[in-house]
Amino acid sequence: MEQARNDLFGHIHRCGVLRATEEQQVEWMNDTIEYISECYPSLSKDELAELRGIGLRFCRPVIANGPSAEEQDGESEVSAEEFSAA
């Protein structure tokens, strides 16, 4: 279970799913959990469900650490100069 969890977190970081929409994250997580179930056939359905829940929570932190989609598109409400002046 521990190795599968570590692999899941590695996939999350490498695939850029943190910047995806919630719908895309759910679809990606479903596909990834299916892949993990093939890699780790000894995991039970409950363990896979737990991994899925952990992964989805990890993709949606309470405090956003990265720029929002609007900020990535250059439509940030606060410019870099305004932010550094604050």
The pLDDT tens digits for 5-30 are 999 998 888 888 888 888 899 999 99
Cβ–Cβ under 8 Å, residues 59 and 17: yes
CA angle 12, 17, 6 (to 5 degrees): 5
Are 5 and 53 in contact by the 8 Å Cβ rule? The answer is no
Is 69 exposed, middle or buried, given 0-12, 13-18 or 19+ CB atoms closer than 10 A?
exposed
In the prediction, which pLDDT does 61 show?
Answer: 65
Q: What pLDDT was estimated at residue 67?
A: 55
Share the mean pLDDT of the chain.
78
CB atoms closer than 10 angstroms to residue 17: 19
Q: Given a cut of 60, is residue 48 above it in pLDDT?
A: yes
Write out the two tokens for 6.
């570590």
